[in-house]
Amino acid sequence: MPDPKAVNSMFARIAGRYDLANHLLSGGVDHWWRLWLVRAVRDTQPGAVLDLATGSGDVAFALADGLPRGVEVIGMDFCQPMLDEAVSKRAANPRWTKIGFKQGDGMALPLPDAAFDALTISFGLRNMADRHQALSEMRRVLRRGGRLFVLEFSQPYFWFRPFYYAYLKFVLPLVAGRVTGDRSAYEYLGGSIESFPDRAKMSEEIRRAGFSDVRATPFTFGIVALHEARA
């Protein structure tokens, strides 16, 4: 399991170039993954949404764009330099100004019980030191029947794996190292993606944390999956 201090300082180091590296490394597909996520959230008609591990805020911004005005969106992350990026981007769009960005650790959320109708976490759960604890916290802050949306790297379709793992091992650290100046951060990223559970195992972990109606949808040859569940 990742060491929280090391994860925090790693994201602090790459915060300023995180967005650029993200868009380059995904070839821009990250935009579509976020749109699919927002569409799924919108279908559940939430009144208040927490975007956990919000990082530089792109999911929170996509939620504010895609959900009706008046829906409360809070972005939370434990890494202040990533939140600083989010806050500096917030001023660019009047629809985003009401998003609240707050510092908080996914292992012990500084939030009351049953405060949200929906919780999104995108590419964040993989970095949490104890996934069961993190998922239990997510369930605690969701109201009964509230919805969990986990967008995360997954294990791709069998035939695609050799190409993908070669990309993670050789291309990703090289390109991201040049963009962010921190090759080791992306060697960690590649390793954490390769060792992350597949859709069936992830679904089981979500169920074990007390969620029901768990389902997983693969995107882009299965390299990413959206897990949805009910608290």
Ligand X SMILES: C[S@@+](CC[C@H](N)C(=O)[O-])C[C@H]1O[C@@H](n2cnc3c(N)ncnc32)[C@H](O)[C@@H]1O
Shortest spacing between CB 163 and ligand X, in angstroms: 22
The distance of Cα 141 from the centroid of its chain, to the nearest Å, equals 17
Does residue 116 bind ligand X (CB under 6 A)?
no
Shortest spacing between CB 145 and ligand X, in angstroms: 24
**Residue partners of 40: CB distance under 8 A and separation at least 6:** 149, 226, 228
Cα–Cα distance for residue pair 131/181, rounded to 1 Å: 29
Contact region with ligand X (CB under 6 A), list: 49-57, 164-172, 175-183, 222-230:
49-57
**Residue partners of 45: CB distance under 8 A and separation at least 6:** none
Shortest spacing between CB 127 and ligand X, in angstroms: 4
Does residue 137 bind ligand X (CB under 6 A)?
no
Token pair listed for 123: 């590419």
Does residue 127 bind ligand X (CB under 6 A)?
yes
Beta strands in the chain (DSSP E): 48-52, 72-77, 100-103, 116-122, 142-153, 212-219, 224-230
Does residue 138 bind ligand X (CB under 6 A)?
no
Burial class (CB in 10 A: 0-12, 13-18, 19+), 188: middle
Token pair listed for 220: 């882009």
Does residue 87 bind ligand X (CB under 6 A)?
no
Among 38, 41, 50, 54, binds ligand X (CB under 6 A): 54
Percentage helix, strand, coil, to 5, in the chain?
55, 20, 25
Does residue 77 bind ligand X (CB under 6 A)?
yes
Contact region with ligand X (CB under 6 A), list: 66-74, 101-109, 201-209, 216-224:
101-109
Among 40, 107, 111, 179, binds ligand X (CB under 6 A): 107
Residues interacting with ligand X, by CB under 6 A? Answer: 4, 7, 11, 22, 53-55, 58-59, 77-79, 82, 105-107, 122-124, 127-128
